Amino acid sequence: MKRDTALLIVDVQVGMFEDFGLPYKGEEVLSAIRGLIAEARSAEVPIIYIQHCGDKGECLDPASAGWQLHPELTPASGDVIIQKRTPDSFKDTNLQHTLDGGGIKRLVVTGLQTEYCIDTICRRAFSLGYDVTLAMDAHTTFDSETLTAPEIISHHNTILGNWFVKLKEASQIVFHDLSRDDGGRNLKRSD
């Protein structure tokens, strides 16, 4: 079977769980991502970790402990780690080159933060022609001054799902199914 799908794990780093407090349903999100990693490995689907590089002195400063990938999601040999400096995982990185070089056309997206890096990667990947599935219960954020984390997540699931992504619960993502023509779609976008 042709492997044209990759699992993307965005900014699941120690600092995102320690320096800002625990993200909304942080443990559940980690568990969902671990399940997706196991599913991806069983289907021999590539796993790509996106790691944010903050400025000197910030919690995601590459010289800090917070910059490290979360210890519950330890990459295996053959997994790819791509480092970025902006919310856009494609900007000034080799992500698109890596995906295109591997014949990847479908992406499953997970991670942090919903309204920043998750929103941006979903929209940008869609614009670049990738078929994107957002694991709707495997991305998270923090309360903001104006909205709670559940409101932010619900809003982004709705907006992104109406145009840019297919939405699926992590437990419903079967990587073998994603290589079929329907992309494993269980919720259709409104056109």
- In 119-165, DSSP assigns E strands to 131-140
Dist CA 83 CA 31 (whole Å): 23
Tokens of 150: 């559940």
Topology of the domain comprising 5-178: Rossmann fold (3.40.50)
Among residues 53, 59, 117, 122, which one is catalytic? Answer: 117
Nearest-5° Cα angle at 117, 138 to 53: 110
pLDDT at 178: 61
Residue ranges of the chain whose pLDDT lies below 70: 1-2, 178-191
Active-site annotation holds for 59: no
Question: pTM of this prediction?
Answer: 0.91
- Which is it for strands 131-140 and 106-112: parallel, antiparallel or unpaired? parallel
pLDDT at 59: 87
